[in-house]
Amino acid sequence: LDIMNVSDDKDDERLREQYDMESATFLQIWGYVLFLFVLCFQGFAFYVFVILFCIDRMVDKNLGLAIFFITLFCLTFSMMILNYVRCVFANPGHVPPSFVPDSRVSGQDSDGQTPRKFCRKCDRPKPDRAHHCSVCQKCILQYDHHCPYVANCVGFRNQKFFVLFVTYTTLTVVVVLGCMIPGLIMAFENLGSENNTGNPLIIVLYFLCVGICLFMLPFSIFHWRLVFSGTTTIETQLPKAQNIRGDFVYRWDLGWKRNFFTRFGTRPLYWFLPT
């Protein structure tokens, strides 16, 4: 009977591993689909705003304002693209196979041999703040989450690029919304009339940007809050610790200024660049 129970346990474990692998494969494929979707939307937004709205509709009416709109949009749009590319292709912080824990820092279990931080999936020790990603099948330093829109994990090495990407995305849609208000009013006024020269793609882009802004603005605020509190999305689920002043803070909170410096560096020139 014991032999049969052991065999059943092994079969259940094998089925769970197979299910995890199939789920990870699906999420990887879905991530590439979302990656293509993001690229298509970025191209669509550039075409509609710059070509259809600014060049076709505004250049003849107000050349200076059209140039200002294009410059402002291209500035935020290019920074969004650059940070997006860096976030997608950067190593998020894979724990190297050669990692050896320092017992003075990480500590050991009661047997005196097993590291306190040990990944059973990778079958190797891992440092503090590292978590295993079931999609990438790797342990990530300061793992925040696996983002399907960038087809990559967000971790120690690319968190800055991710935060800047969502920030510049928010700024880009805000620029589009602000600049297109006069043109949108005219498009609605001429809608259905014989002298209608508007383009329905302008209206489509505007309402798409409204939806994106409603999602990305609180999302950006949330991730800036994580930066200044020195924590990650997954660590917000852990209990806070009490500091010497009696305040309850996240375990790795060094104060908002030092938290910011550890992620963005100490040189202001590079804070908002994809470097």
The pairs formed by 68-71 with CB atoms below 8 angstroms and a separation of 24 or more are: 69/175, 69/179
Per the annotation, the verdict on 147 as an active-site residue is yes
Among 54, 147, 179, 209, the active-site one is: 147
Active site residues: 147
